[in-house]
Amino acid sequence: MQIAVVTGGGRGIGAAITEKLASENFFVILIVNKSLDPARTVVDNIRSNGGQAEVIQCDVSNGQDIKETIAAIEDQWGTPSILVNNAGVGGPYHALDQVSEEEWDWIMNTNVKSMFLLSKYVLPQMKERGYGRIINLSSIFGVWGGANSAVYSTSKHAILGLTKSIAAEWGPYGITCNAISPGYVTTEMGIQEDQVTDHLARVLERSPVKAIVGTKDIADMVYYLTGPSGSMINGASFVIDGGLSAHAGI
162 within 8 A of 111, measured Cβ to Cβ: no
Of the candidates 86, 77, 28, 17, the residue with the CA atom closest to the CA atom of residue 52 = 28
Q: Is 61 left (phi over 0), alpha (psi -120 to 50) or beta?
A: alpha
Q: Which residues, in sequence order, are bridge partners of residue 90?
A: none
The set of residues, in sequence order, having a beta carbon less than 8 Å from that of 92 and lying 6+ positions away, is 98, 99, 103, 107, 151, 152
Exposed / middle / buried, residue 164 (Cβ in 10 Å: 0-12, 13-18, 19+)? middle
224 within 8 A of 176, measured Cβ to Cβ: no
Exposed / middle / buried, residue 173 (Cβ in 10 Å: 0-12, 13-18, 19+)? middle
Of the candidates 159, 171, 190, 192, the residue with the CA atom closest to the CA atom of residue 85 = 159
184 is catalytic: no
The residue from 121, 131, 152, 223 that is catalytic is 152
Considering Cα of 78, then 2, then 47, then 137, what sign does the dihedral take? positive
Question: Please, what's the b/e burial string for 72-94 (b: 16 or more CB within 10 A of its CB; e: otherwise)?
Answer: ebeeeeebbbbbbbbbbebebee
Active site residue ranges: 152
